[in-house]
Structure 1
């Protein structure tokens, strides 16, 4: 197992089939899915299929969401990472989207901000990306704040699945290294 990113409190690594139980705990929670389609999973097979889908992205695109492990407990607490978006969204495709999702009992601990900053650092320094995009439902104020804290700026509003969303972006800084404090 290759560790991709390590921060002060977290390890981000590839998602494994053994992570299905944690992924199901997260994705079966209605509150977790409130701003992402409001369609929580009802069967563990949905999480199994999702894990397989993410693992396929690693093979096809060289990148995908990573499991986030809390160092102190060793628990998988959610996922974070970059995803290459190849389908059209807001009349764009071929961009890298930053995302994160956590089991509800780990909310409010700063893990979304910590992992997002680390993911952006990875995208700019390891992948040499010129920009990273973030999308957030305008009603999801916590997620918008996480993206802003990570340096993304609101660019425009657009309709996504019938709801207003922010299209947010951060561009590769002029300096060679992008370092954020985790």
Structure 2
């Protein structure tokens, strides 16, 4: 079972069915989903399908997803997760989404280090963030968190060129 992680303003916890309305505000938002791998959600049913997928992938330990909850409001303001593990489970990809009302307030800069610390306890030695070349906001965030751009690549399922930002304990700043 994955742990609950917390900071001064945030709690990272499992996503639960009572989060559907907050999640729809995030996944149904065109600004949020502009550079995401999933399409903009057009119904609550799509959120329910996502929850089923998250549960299935977590049961097989293929992926782990956390709700990012603002402590002050107890509202889910985003999600973050670990997925696309290599065979040795020493590397994986990190992904995150945040409702635009919470952009530029340091929430993701507060949430992701909690996730990175947990990844290290899992034996993860390198994290990757595959970011669309036009997603300057995410590139800036991951650079701030110590990730270094090292190549342009194509990710299966995407036709978009993305920048890949590896993060290891040795290159963290």
Q: Does 1:129 align with 2:130?
A: no
**2:7 equivalent in structure 1:** 7
The TM-score normalised by the length of structure 1 is 0.83
Out of 150, 157, 162, the position equivalent to 2:152 is 157
**2:114 equivalent in structure 1:** 118
Whole-angstrom distance in 1 between the partners of 2:18 and 2:72: 19
Deviation at 1:77, TM superposition (A): 0.7
Deviation at 1:172, TM superposition (A): 3.0
**1:98 equivalent in structure 2:** 94
Contact 1:3–1:11 (CA under 8 A) maintained in structure 2:
no
The TM-score normalised by the length of structure 2 is 0.87
Q: How does 1:1-182 map to 2 (within 5 A)?
A: 3-37=3-37, 39-61=39-61, 63-85=63-85, 95-124=91-120, 126-160=121-155, 161-173=158-170
Whole-angstrom distance in 2 between the partners of 1:94 and 1:114: 23
For each residue in 1:70-128, what CA deviation from the matched residue of structure 2 results, as whole angstroms up to 9, or x when unmatched?
01111111111212347xxxxxx98411111012211121111111111111111x212
Long gaps (5+) in structure 2:
none
- CA RMSD, 1 decimal: 2.6
Q: CA 1:52 to 1:94, structure 2 compared with 1: closer, same or farther past 3 Å?
A: farther
Q: CA 1:134 to 1:37, structure 2 compared with 1: closer, same or farther past 3 Å?
A: closer
Whole-angstrom distance in 2 between the partners of 1:130 and 1:39: 31
Long gaps (5+) in structure 1:
87-92
SS in 1 for 2:96: strand
Whole-angstrom distance in 1 between the partners of 2:143 and 2:99: 21
Q: CA 1:168 to 1:76, structure 2 compared with 1: closer, same or farther past 3 Å?
A: same
Deviation at 1:41, TM superposition (A): 0.9
Whole-angstrom distance in 1 between the partners of 2:154 and 2:54: 25
Q: How many residues align?
A: 170
